[in-house]
Amino acid sequence: MGYLNGETIRFNTPGINPYFLSEQEISKLILKNETVAQYADQVKEIYFFGAGCSSPDKHEVVSNGLSEVFTNAFISVDHDLLGSVYATCGSAEGLNCILGTGSNICYFDGKKIHDGHHGLGYVLGDEGSGTFFGKKVLLSYLYNKMPSSLAAEFKKTFPAEKEQIITNVYQKPFPNIYLAGFSRFMANHKDHPFIQEILKSGFQEFVDTNIKDYPKYKNVPCHFVGSIAYYYQTELVAVLLENGIEPGKILQKPIEDLFNYILHKEGVVKHAQNP
């Protein structure tokens, strides 16, 4: 999203992650969007929040890639967790969780983020994420643990055979995204007791492994960002309340709330109204 001459401009680009893209690839990717290319030289400030941007070297990759496109802009690059915190907590204390393709969590004291021992990725962690649930659903089907009625529907939705699935997981790029795709099956069958159990046990695992690691987890609101949290918020909220946790915001995408926070925090709106 952008704010130019008093107007909000909306556009989309593919995801940008410095672990998978070089500086040149980032700039080329951004310029493929006609709206961005049209206004690039008029942009004065860029605030980018993305996965993989916490380390200085990866931070620089994104910053340099953006600089190639937005030649007249001040550029700020930060981790996606910080963007999520601004969208949910704003300037207040709270826990902020990401439940999308992957999962993560942090505690925000109102001024800065306190990192935990989480965000280990889909191989070691990602409890409660799309990849986590996709793997659970897929394994229940492959191990013949899924009820026959659901298994028949699963085969119609995902006709791939075992060998093809193994190839996609172990030999092709982005196996986490591939596995997360199977979590979509839960959406059309989420009232089935088998799916309900997968959801509740998965969210409980996220609570036990991630949320309860923070001593103040019962004293501050717990916010969530991501499609898994959003689409299965009924089950998520039920698990939170069972554990004495106060549910906060649950956003599918943080961009609108983040956009508004940045505009007011940096005084962009005030400056535009009182030049």
Each residue of 24-74: pLDDT tens digit? 999 999 888 888 888 888 888 888 988 778 788 888 999 999 999 999 999
Q: Does residue 192 share a domain with residue 101?
A: yes
Number of domains in the chain: 2
pTM value > 0.75: yes
**Which residues, at least 6 apart from 251, have a Cβ–Cβ distance to it below 8 Å?**
87, 88, 223, 224, 225, 229, 230, 257
Predicted confidence at residue 3, as pLDDT, reads 63
> Which of 81-90, 130-139, 237-246 shows the lowest per-residue confidence on average (mean pLDDT)?
81-90
Mean pLDDT of 177-199: 95
Predicted confidence at residue 241, as pLDDT, reads 98
pLDDT at 15 over 80: no
Q: Does residue 141 share a domain with residue 44?
A: no
Q: How many beta carbons lie within 10 A of that of residue 244, not counting itself?
A: 8
Q: Does residue 143 share a domain with residue 101?
A: yes
Q: Does residue 109 share a domain with residue 208?
A: yes
Q: Does residue 115 share a domain with residue 246?
A: yes
Predicted confidence at residue 271, as pLDDT, reads 37
Predicted confidence at residue 26, as pLDDT, reads 92
Q: Does residue 109 share a domain with residue 76?
A: no
Q: Is residue 89 in some structural domain?
A: no
Predicted confidence at residue 263, as pLDDT, reads 82
Q: Does residue 64 share a domain with residue 30?
A: yes
Q: Is residue 214 in some structural domain?
A: yes
Q: Is residue 79 in some structural domain?
A: yes
pLDDT at 214 over 60: yes
Cα–Cα distance between 10 and 25 in angstroms, integer? 22
Predicted confidence at residue 173, as pLDDT, reads 83
Q: Is residue 52 in some structural domain?
A: yes
Predicted confidence at residue 123, as pLDDT, reads 76
Q: Does residue 184 share a domain with residue 71?
A: no
Q: Does residue 104 share a domain with residue 38?
A: no
Collect contacts of 107-112 with beta carbons under 8 A, ≥24 apart.
107/214, 107/216, 107/220
- In the chain, % of residues over pLDDT 90: 59
Cα–Cα distance between 138 and 185 in angstroms, integer? 10
Q: Is residue 199 in some structural domain?
A: yes
Collect contacts of 260-267 with beta carbons under 8 A, ≥24 apart.
261/86, 261/87, 261/90, 262/47, 262/86, 263/3, 265/86, 266/45, 266/47
Mean pLDDT of 84-100: 93
pLDDT at 125 over 80: no
Cα–Cα distance between 190 and 199 in angstroms, integer? 8
Domain that residue 35 falls in:
2-84+255-273
Predicted confidence at residue 266, as pLDDT, reads 58
Predicted confidence at residue 4, as pLDDT, reads 61
Q: Does residue 159 share a domain with residue 66?
A: no
Name the more confident of 15 and 7: 15
